[in-house]
Chains A and B, each alone.
Chain A
């Protein structure tokens, strides 16, 4: 019967899910392997002598040679890669020449700061950006649309360090609505037992609401700024996706059925626009998670962006590669997540290609 959907029993459905899972794992593994090859090659290509970085430039030739052998640099490249692979798998990214600590510990220290800032920022950007974009699309060409456009353009074009300094000047120095640079006041710094490293979460879980308030007042200004930039992008994209959806025939069908306009916009059109929006939000989030050097510098935020820039400037290659790997993993993870969300939102993707 040509008119029917493809059914299939319970067994074949199970098999399909299992096959999908296998494919997913294989894809992820391959992606990671590629990522590792790239980071490994970067480490070999950059004009930084890894031996000199360890022994310093005053070491004698014999010391240099010994470390050269210890680092395994005499072995063929593929063997070196194999060793690198094994180390990474056991969570050993080597030591930082700068901080003299394990890279893993360093990243575990700086990454939560970035994660917390990025998460609050993307929440602000999404919660404000999407409704604004929808509103602009519905009011296409009218005042609201122009207002959203201008707001977005300012978000694109104003340098963030300038906005950051201005924000600090106005809201911190003058009005004193928010706390200044840093993640937390020194007075509260040791009041928390670090668990996740996300201070908002830690303080909330431990019921320390005073600390929570302090952390919040530190994070809100930089998060709003970063959120503003994401919002500018998200609202523009939402607007264009919504305009596209509102011109579709199914919207006319809904109108013919007598469906009220708010439901046409927020249920019919937005549900369809949400599919491509997932990617936009995921990419914005990934960008934020790389850490924003400028924002982190202005707000003295001990995050990944600052750490990486610092390492790079001091030719601390282990740290740079470790950080790159973390950022790469974030991208892989977020892509995976948006793929899953895709198939949740769009029934046409769900049944496989």
Chain B
């Protein structure tokens, strides 16, 4: 099976006053129609990696790679038009906080229809039906009302469901979920994850799940990349997390509280300058 996405030696640099600063330093992986988790602390480059895969590295940053291939399409030298054709239609992204990621002055319905118009070229009449069906698919009980609502009229969990609906309505092949539940209440987190899980499984999509929550990622994904200081320090099967070799991964796992027999206080994470080399 040819992989959906191949990334080899992805590097992202931002110019700073003290010279260029490389925030992602040679990340390589392949992704099939599976669920890949990327974990790491803030600043490890996990979010920038996700954005680079959509061609959305914020200027003046620059992303380069030896290979960046999406389903046979070379993204390395892709034109703006190619990117625009791919985004929405074949790859999309769910972001952290629906409070900021939804346009506050546009109704949810309008934003959904926009996704369909530019991502799938859908005409108005059927688009509305499809949008409402999608809202139902993310288990919104009253799709008509949410369709007409403005983002501030929805709760966080509801907003994030609307966001997921918006990103999946065009049935893309690849979804990047960048901390999709970090801004939500713990009780809602599970629900939203369950919805996301079911939709991704049903559609046989590739998913890249970015999070700082190691336990969440391991329970939700097939494979896990652990990033530290812009590099992948370890790649594991989610089921074999205990076999982690790298001291950083081990350190992360030691910090997880256990219900029984855990150590108190929890150990702090130690960082070795050598890992960042």
Contacts and interface: CB of A to CB of B under 8 A. Distances in A.
A272 B152 CA distance: 14
A4 B89 CA distance: 30
A250 to B, nearest CB: 4
B181 to A, nearest CB: 16
B89 A250 contact: no
Interface string B73-108: 000000010001111110011011100111111100
A42 interface: no
B103 A254 contact: yes
Contacts of B104: 250, 272, 346-348
B145 A5 contact: yes
Indicate the size class of the contact surface on chain B.
35 or more
B193 to A, nearest CB: 17
Nearest to B99: A249
B114 A257 contact: yes
14 contacts: A3-B154, A250-B104, A252-B51, A252-B95, A253-B166, A254-B103, A256-B93, A258-B88, A258-B118, A258-B119, A275-B105, A345-B105, A346-B105, A348-B152
Q: Which of A249, A255, A256 gathers the greatest number of chain B CB atoms within 10 Å?
A: A256
B199 interface: no
Contacts of B153: 5, 347, 351
Given A3-B155, A249-B97, A258 B105 contact: no
Given A261-B80, A268-B106, A347-B105, 15 more contacts: A5-B145, A249-B100, A250-B103, A250-B104, A252-B95, A252-B101, A253-B102, A256-B88, A256-B93, A258-B85, A258-B87, A258-B119, A259-B118, A272-B105, A348-B152
B68 interface: no
Given A5-B153, A346-B105, A257 B97 contact: no
Contacts of B158: 3
B157 interface: yes
B225 interface: no
B84 to A, nearest CB: 5
